[in-house]
Amino acid sequence: MNPTLKNGDIASASLNCIAAVVCLLAAILVFVLKLHKRVVYRLALYQVLSSLSFATIEIFQVIFLNYDKNREVYGRLCTAIGLLNMYTRWIKLLSTMWVTLHIFCFGVLRKDLKRYEMWYIVTSLLVPCVMAVVPLITNNYQLSPFHSYCYVYNNSDSYKAVLVERLVLWDVPAIIILLVASTSMVVLVIKIVRELCHRLKYKPLVNGDQYWKVLNELLPLAAFPVLFFIFIIPHGLFSTFTQAWAYPVTSLRSSVY
């Protein structure tokens, strides 16, 4: 294994340890302060727990640095970790999508969607099952050829079909959802800032002001999608780098041999 990518795997596991600890502390804080009694904070809690589960699975990826020591055992573990990786990343993505939708409707459209809370939970748990099972059926949960990461790979000549599978099951839906969610957050921030400036100009905010209550509800919740985007960008860049590194070499190797 390339030493640079090996160090990158260790660094990635370390960062995910930090992320897991932060998410765990945030979840504990929600219960200690009894914030879970409010819908907006429960939605935020779901997002934190999904991030915690994803970070935990990412930490376990580092064990595959020892893959060559026992390929049979680690091969089975690789399939399990790959399945859980796809499942938890979809839970994280959908929970963030629903949180963002709730924030947008509440802050921009002034519609309270708290009656859909159960729908948020059910879809965030069931839809990922479908996405995660497909690569299991096609036997494409394998170890990356260049670093210790089990995901949707295939080191055979069918790697192009696997790339298409991953694009359909994750990359394209994730990009679309994140772009829509990011746009929604930008629109929300612009609206909040404009209305806040307008109200401060003509009427100072007081604790009893209705807009202050709305703002008080939105600001804590809005932090979670923002943090999600911050955390996912480095991981996405790292994944893109390794794929750009791996598949051209695989293609060259298959053409030569």
Q: Give residue-wise pLDDT tens across range 159-184.
A: 788 888 989 999 899 989 988 888 88
Query: Distance between CA atoms of 74 and 88, rounded to whole angstroms?
Result: 20
Q: What is the mean pLDDT of residues 191-197?
A: 77
Mean pLDDT of the chain: 79
Poorest-pLDDT segment among 41-45, 117-121, 130-134, 189-193: 189-193
pLDDT at 119: 92
Rg of the chain over CA atoms, in angstroms?
A: 21
φ, ψ dihedrals at 74, nearest 5°: -70, -25
* AA identity, residue 185: M
98 pLDDT above the threshold of 50? yes
CA distances from 193 to 107, 108, 197, 199, 206 (A): 12, 12, 6, 10, 17
pLDDT at 122: 94
pLDDT tens for residues 221-249? 556 555 665 555 555 555 555 555 544 44
Per-residue three-class SS string for 82-141:
HHHHHHHHHHHHHHHHHHHHHHHHHHCCCCCCHHHHHHHHHHHHHHHHHHHHHHHHCCCE
Q: Spell out the residues 6+ positions from residue 24 whose beta carbon is closer than 8 angstroms to its own.
A: 52
CA distances from 244 to 75, 120, 251 (A): 24, 35, 11
Q: Which residue's structure tokens are 């709730």?
A: 102
128 pLDDT above the threshold of 70? yes
pLDDT at 251: 36
Query: Distance between CA atoms of 101 and 91, rounded to whole angstroms?
Result: 15
SS3 state at 142: strand
- Residue 104's pLDDT band, with cuts at 50, 70 and 90, is confident
pLDDT tens for residues 134-146? 999 999 999 987 7
Poorest-pLDDT segment among 4-8, 72-76, 234-238: 234-238
Helix (H) / strand (E) element for 143: namely: strand 141-143
pLDDT at 239: 57
pLDDT at 247: 47
